[in-house]
Amino acid sequence: MTAVAAVTHAPARGSLLRRFATQEALLALAIIALAVVVGLINPRFLAARNLSDILLGNAYIAVAAIGMSMVIISGNIDISVGALIGVLATLSGSLAVAGAPVLVTWLAPLALGIVVMAAQGAVVAYLRIPAIVVTLGMLSILKGGLISVTGGKWITDLPASFHLADLSIFGIPMPVVIMATATVLAALWMWYSPRGRAIYATGGNAEAARLCGVDPQRTIVMVFALHGFFAGLATLVYATQLRVIQSTTPAGLELTIITASVVGGVSILGGVGTVIGSTLAAILIAEITSALVFVNVSPYWTDAVRGALILATVIVDIMRRRRRAERG
Amino acid sequence: MIPRHLLTTAAAALALGAWATAANAAGKWDGADDLPTNPLACEAGGAAEVAAKPYDGGQPTNPPDLAGKEITIVDVPKLIGIGYFNATSKGIQDAAKELGNVKAKTDGPTEAKIDEQIKFIDNYITSGVNGILFAANDPVAIAPVLKKALSKGIHVIGYDANSTPDAREWFVNQAEFNGIAKAMIDSMSKEAGDDAAFAIVTSTFTTPNQARWIAEMEAYAAKCHPKMQWLETVEAQEDNNLSFNQATTLINKHGDKLKGIFGMTSVATPASAEAVTKAGQCGKIAVVGLATPNAMKPYVHSDCVKSVVLWNPIDLGYAATYVMRAVADGKLKPGDKSVEAGHLGKLNVVNGSEILLGAPFIFSKDNIDKFDF
Amino acid sequence: MSLASAALTHRMPRWLVRHETILAIILIVALIGLGALNDKFLTVDNLLNQGRLMTEIGLIALPMTFVIVTGGIDLSVGAIVGLSAIMLGYSWKNFGFPLPLAIVFALVVGGVAGFVNGLVITRVKVPPLIMTIATLALYRGLAEGISQARSVRGYPEWFYVLGQGSIFGVPTQLLILILLIVVAGVALDRTTFGRALYAIGANETAARFSALNVDRTKLIVYTLSGLASGLAAIVLVSRVTTTRMDMGMGYELDVIAAVVLGGTSIFGGSGTIWGTVIGLVMIQLLKNGLALTGVKGDATIVVIGLALILSVLIASSLQGRRE
């Protein structure tokens, strides 16, 4: 899919379906296959309660991966998102404990997330500092700043109304609703709206994109701003699930989110991948984590097995893509 | 034609998984370092065996005479940013204020990494503090830098998590490992029944304190509650959401069989309690663990958790500071049998160079609201 | 901005405007400032000690420079440190190797881990970022599984000379680091191997067409990265007298920060060992100087983050660099 083609016309119906039919289908297949295999070993894995718990407990990763995928598709990366989520969660919780109206406590992380990320995007786009440098520096600033300001004090005593994640719509828990809606809307927007497709173009070939009237710099700022929005949304799911907010950076969160995007088929070379893939990948990784406990894999080996499975998924994805490229 | 690389990787993953599954049959509770365990007697109130060992701590080389003078000390806990060490830090500040001639500061890594902690301590050695309080991420790895501090005449006192004895002068121990194990297992037996099946949520297997507690719990349960059944132990780092997810997975996996969950850290216990609450299993699954009161208040009030085992970490930090002052003043010397620690009174020396805080403290519905940490 | 800086740089000699020189100037300014605030900072004792403490990151930063110059990246270095450390202890205790053999074995493990990275990156063509994120998880997991979360301690005294001893007053590991800095610098700057790295980073397709064995070169740099991680692990174990499966956690970010700060472009094609060394020293001494001045850990992290962004900003704007 060349940059030019991405911008000038929406992809033909058939190729859109075919694109979905390979990458995302592979992940969906893996999710189902794993569930079946583990279910045979321990039927309790397939209990509705367990499956829904897997989704609920990890929905925030899928939501954050939406924004991360956009950033990676545009040809950049962000390693500050974990620290940002820690900051936003603390902000939200502090406002709630201080008695702010519930709507404010929910909107504040969205707003701050957008501002912080857009600022980074501007530095990347206009000051031409590579994203890895900016976000590496920002990671330190956010991590240290959070502890400096809060002293590491946990936030307890949250008002009952704060817990957005406990609500449900038509019987479906809020985290799942948010995850599904965000994924679908983002995917549709990226495919059918010119601004959305501009992200693919910028990631694929910035010069060519510019020649087609896409402003790569504005696009990058927009992408980071969106990423901040989704980070804020993920924070809402993350922070409102439990009664305690740790005022620290969740360890390894950014790596988990990047892994979800990458396993979901988003190419680090930019220009390829979908957010549906990253959501499915996030679900798959969460499922693997749970499956390893159900299957009685020794807790000393769970990380190794999970790492091996991620590696296998990644290799399969690359091979599949190369095979398709060779076929032309 | 399935690509060769795919086959190899898939085969490797499957082999790894199969071996990993088989390896679980070994069934040890934790990653303890094969040190001998010493379970207490089974009767209620079995006192911790106070071994009369000769003093085995290290000594500073040519420490300056600081008797009565103001001292500057630094507290380097395992990490900063968790409720537990916020509490010990508060205790240290309380003691410093009371004593009047101690300036104390808490500074440490934001993650429980031993290499980071070593660098923190090293910098404070260079900047010339009079005393260092520490809670070690690894007892052996921290020894070289602590010995360096001793060699520069700096007083070194440990609390919460020990180092090798020769790397510090004294270690303020909240409770003996076997005492904590006894309190935990006895609580679980009382709440969930003497034949309960339980699981353990810990931070990591390489955290020395947790590993030792679990090893002692295993030994004590084998001795005094042999019908209790250990199902498994899972790791959850120091992360709230991870702990919650792991606890939920345990509940879903074992179903009715699971009667109790042990939380081994101040992060794991509230998260496990939340998991039990969300699963609607309050009263059916007992949660017993180490935690700070604030995080547990909702669960204790809702009767989901009956009691929270701990010692008072504020007292721990407080005692450590008094010990530091006593050492700097020359009032606590190798071979002494006790030390005065402010409002805590007289604390006994056990095990050669350990100072015992006292019996574990139980937070329950009656008293938990009195505490704010 | 670019017009002004173009005017400015037009009058300055080229070497002054190089990223590395600007960085060195910033470093010297910072050192003087911190030295003024604190009398324990600029002492030989302290500086040598800092040299000792920065060796592990420094060793890994050298081949990481090579890797990033070729346009790649290696995020698994921290995990390889953990794995090598574990294998050092494990082979000594469980296989019964004599310690020197165990040390070599740990190095080999590191090299093999890096080699696997390179193999999959060149043969299967998995992008380096993705491959090394996956091996980051896998290698760390292997370290935990093999060690069963246990530590191995109690090494003979001679082993500790590496991590804790000094030769002619200079910490042992620092001497090794300095030696390897010279070797790496010469390799990158003066050999065909080094020139090949720049060529691959600048334009890989053109490099292939120039009859450069791109795949073999890449394989070499990733293997070197693994070897350096293994060496760092040995130094670390010697320094702290024990092994832990979580050793090296977070090293990858520290290493990349040093390399990138030193002027190596993340996109590949440019960068020097000298720059990496300055970046390494800058971060280490900043952390140390701030700590000695009484700044607490959390605030120090903030300053380092700001310093990273600002330094790269200053250096790149003074060069009027265009992408």
Q: Note the pLDDT of residue C46.
A: 93
Interface test mutation site (partner A, options B240, B256, B264, B301, max chain A beta carbons within 10 A): B240
Q: Note the pLDDT of residue B271.
A: 94
In contact, B270 and B295? CB cutoff 8 Å: yes
A268 touches chain C (CB under 8 A): yes
Domain membership flag for residue B289: yes
Mean pLDDT to the nearest integer, A128-144 = 91
Looking at A66-70, A169-173, A210-214, B117-121, which range is the least confident one? A210-214
Q: Smallest Cβ distance to A141: which of C129, C136, C302?
A: C302
Q: Note the pLDDT of residue A272.
A: 74
A141 touches chain B (CB under 8 A): no
Kindly state the percentage of chain C with pLDDT values over 90: 70
Give the residue from chain A lying closest to C268, CA to CA: A130
Q: Which residues of B63-83 are buried (b: 16+ CB within 10 A; e: fewer)?
A: beebeeeebebbbbbbbbbbb
pLDDT of A326 higher than 80 = no
Domain membership flag for residue B251: yes
pLDDT, tens digit, 9 for 90 and up, residues A262-282 = 888 887 666 678 899 999 999
Per-residue DSSP letter, C120: I
Domain membership flag for residue B63: no
Strands B131-134 and B71-76 turn out to be: parallel
- Between C2 and C266, the more confident residue is C266
Looking at A106-115, A226-235, A255-264, C88-97, which range is the least confident one? A255-264
Residue A251 and residue B237: Cβ atoms within 8 Å?
A: yes
Residue B232 identity:
E
Instruction: Check: pTM over 0.95? Answer yes or no.
Output: no
ipTM at complex level: 0.89
Domain membership flag for residue B370: no
Domain membership flag for residue B76: yes
Domain membership flag for residue B369: no
What residues in B contact C145, CB-CB < 8 Å?
Answer: 20, 23
Confidence category of residue A8, pLDDT binned at 50, 70, 90 = very low
Mean pLDDT to the nearest integer, A106-123 = 96
In contact, B72 and B321? CB cutoff 8 Å: no
Q: Which domain holds residue B163?
A: 71-175+312-358
Q: What is the mean pLDDT of chain C?
A: 90
Distance between alpha carbon C247 and the CA centroid of its chain, in Å?
15
* Pairwise CA distance, residues B87 & B319, whole Å: 13
CB-CB neighbours of A212 under 10 Å:
16
Mean pLDDT to the nearest integer, C217-222 = 96
* Pairwise CA distance, residues A122 & B51, whole Å: 65
In contact, C321 and C17? CB cutoff 8 Å: no
What residues in C contact A132, CB-CB < 8 Å?
Answer: 256, 260, 266
What residues in C contact B4, CB-CB < 8 Å?
Answer: none
Mean pLDDT to the nearest integer, C253-279 = 91
Query: What residues have CB less than 8 Å from A154, skipping those under 6 apart?
Result: A244, A245, A246, A247, B82, B83, B86, B294, B295
Measuring CA to CA, how many Å separate B304 from each of A160, B301, C6?
Answer: 17, 8, 69
Q: Note the pLDDT of residue B24.
A: 56
Please name which of B85, B264, B72 lies closest in space to residue B155, comparing C-alpha atoms.
B72
In contact, B184 and B163? CB cutoff 8 Å: no
Residue C145 and residue A306: Cβ atoms within 8 Å?
A: no
- Between C205 and C107, the more confident residue is C107
Q: Note the pLDDT of residue B1.
A: 43
Confidence category of residue C7, pLDDT binned at 50, 70, 90 = low
∠ CA A211-A215-A218, nearest 5°, is: 170
- Between C210 and A21, the more confident residue is C210
As a whole number of Å, the CA-based R_g of chain C is 20
Confidence category of residue A9, pLDDT binned at 50, 70, 90 = very low
A143 touches chain B (CB under 8 A): yes
B23 touches chain A (CB under 8 A): yes
* Pairwise CA distance, residues A60 & A260, whole Å: 12
What is chain B's pLDDT, residue by residue, as a tens digit (373 residues)? 445 655 666 666 667 767 666 665 456 677 666 777 888 888 776 555 555 788 999 999 988 988 889 999 999 999 988 878 988 999 999 999 999 999 999 999 988 899 999 999 999 999 999 999 999 999 999 999 999 999 999 999 999 999 999 999 999 998 888 888 988 999 899 999 999 999 999 988 888 889 999 999 999 999 999 999 999 999 988 788 899 999 999 999 998 999 999 999 888 999 999 999 999 999 899 999 988 888 899 999 998 998 887 888 899 999 999 999 999 999 999 988 899 999 999 999 988 899 999 877 888 888 888 888 7
Confidence category of residue A153, pLDDT binned at 50, 70, 90 = confident
What residues in B contact C245, CB-CB < 8 Å?
Answer: 206
Reading the block at residue B367, the tokens are 């008293």
Domain count across chain B: 2
Domain ranges of chain A: 3-327
Residue A147 and residue C135: Cβ atoms within 8 Å?
A: no
pLDDT, tens digit, 9 for 90 and up, residues A75-100 = 889 999 999 999 999 999 999 999 98
- Between A140 and B7, the more confident residue is A140
Residue C244 and residue B5: Cβ atoms within 8 Å?
A: no
Mean pLDDT to the nearest integer, A97-120 = 95
Q: C interface toward B at CB cutoff 8 Å?
A: 38, 40, 45-46, 49, 53, 120, 123-124, 144-145, 148-151, 153, 164, 236, 239-242, 244-247, 249-250, 287-288, 291-292, 294, 296-298, 301
pLDDT of C209 higher than 50 = yes
Q: Are residues B296 and B322 in the same domain?
A: no
Q: Are residues B181 and B305 in the same domain?
A: yes
* CATH value at residue B325: 3.40.50.2300
One of 3.30.2030, 3.40.50, 2.60.40, 1.10.3470 is the CATH number of C2-318, namely 1.10.3470
CB pairs under 8 A between A and B: 153
- State the chains in contact with C (3 or more Cβ–Cβ pairs under 8 Å): A, B
Mean pLDDT to the nearest integer, A4-9 = 47
Residue A311 and residue B9: Cβ atoms within 8 Å?
A: yes
Interface test mutation site (partner A, options C132, C133, C249, C290, max chain A beta carbons within 10 A): C133
CB-CB neighbours of C6 under 10 Å:
11
∠ CA C109-C111-C116, nearest 5°, is: 95
Q: Are residues B297 and B187 in the same domain?
A: yes
Does domain A3-327 fall into CATH 1.10.3470?
yes
Confidence category of residue A1, pLDDT binned at 50, 70, 90 = very low
Residue B253 and residue A45: Cβ atoms within 8 Å?
A: yes
B residues 173-212 lying closer than 8 A (beta carbon) to A:
205
∠ CA B130-B134-B136, nearest 5°, is: 145
